[in-house]
Amino acid sequence: MMIDELHHFLYLPGMQTPKDVTLLLLLVLTCFCLCFSASYGDTLPATDSAAEAAPIEIHEHDHDEEESEQAAAGQQERKGPPTVGTFLLSNKFLAFYILAVIAVVLLFKGWISKPVRIGMMVVAFVLFGMEMIFPLHPSPMCATTKLFMFRFTHGAFFPQFLALFGLMIVFSLVARKLFCGWICPLGAIQELVHKIPGVKKFKFFNFTAFNTVRMAFLVLFVLTFFAVVDQVGALAERLGEDSSAGLWAAYSAYSVYAPVNMFELLHWQIDTWFVVMAIVLVGASLVLYRPFCYAICPIGAISWLLERITPGRVRVDHNACTDCGDCSEKSPCPTIGKIVDGKSVVPDCTLCGECIPVCPEKAISFGYKSRG
Residue 231 CB, nearest approach to ligand SF4 (Å) = 28
Contact flag: residue 350 with ligand SF4 (CB under 6 A): yes
- Residue 195 CA to residue 204 CA, distance in Å, equals 16
Partners of 315 in the beta sheet?
A: 365
From residue 287, give the alpha-carbon distance in Å to each of 9, 117, 186, 298, 337: 31, 19, 16, 22, 19
For ligand SF4, the closer of residues 10 and 302 by Cβ is: 302
Contact flag: residue 357 with ligand SF4 (CB under 6 A): no
Contact flag: residue 354 with ligand SF4 (CB under 6 A): yes
- Bond preceding residue 138 cis, omega within 30 of 0: yes
Which of 50, 336, 359, 363 contacts ligand SF4 by CB under 6 A?
336
Spatial neighbors of 261 by CB under 8 A, at least 6 apart, are 141
Which of 292, 295, 310, 357 contacts ligand SF4 by CB under 6 A?
292
Contact flag: residue 140 with ligand SF4 (CB under 6 A): yes
- Residue 201 CA to residue 344 CA, distance in Å, equals 25
Contact flag: residue 50 with ligand SF4 (CB under 6 A): no
Span of 34-42, 51-59, 181-189, 193-201 interacting with ligand SF4 by CB under 6 A: 181-189
Which of 133, 293, 295, 359 contacts ligand SF4 by CB under 6 A?
293
Q: Are 93 and 87 in contact (CB under 8 A)?
A: yes
Span of 46-54, 85-93, 202-210, 344-352 interacting with ligand SF4 by CB under 6 A: 344-352
Contact flag: residue 352 with ligand SF4 (CB under 6 A): yes
Closest CA to 316 of 341, 334, 348, 333: 341
Residue 361 CB, nearest approach to ligand SF4 (Å) = 15
Which of 15, 104, 116, 186 contacts ligand SF4 by CB under 6 A?
186
Residue 264 CB, nearest approach to ligand SF4 (Å) = 12
310-328 exposure pattern, b = at least 16 Cβ within 10 A, e = fewer: bebbbbbbeeebeeeebbb
Contact flag: residue 187 with ligand SF4 (CB under 6 A): yes
Contact flag: residue 355 with ligand SF4 (CB under 6 A): yes
Residue 19 CB, nearest approach to ligand SF4 (Å) = 20
Partners of 316 in the beta sheet?
A: 364
Which of 115, 129, 291, 300 contacts ligand SF4 by CB under 6 A?
300
Residue 178 CB, nearest approach to ligand SF4 (Å) = 10
For ligand SF4, the closer of residues 151 and 313 by Cβ is: 313
For ligand SF4, the closer of residues 288 and 355 by Cβ is: 355
**Which 8-state DSSP code applies to residue 315?**
E
Q: Are 185 and 120 in contact (CB under 8 A)?
A: no
The C-alpha angle with vertex 244 and arms to 242 and 245, in degrees rounded to 5, equals 70
3-state secondary structure at position 367: strand
DSSP one-letter string for 24-46: HHHHHHHHHHHHHHHHTT-----
Q: Which residues bind ligand SF4 (CB under 6 A)?
A: 140, 180, 184, 186-187, 290, 292-293, 297, 299-300, 314, 331, 333, 335-336, 339, 349-355
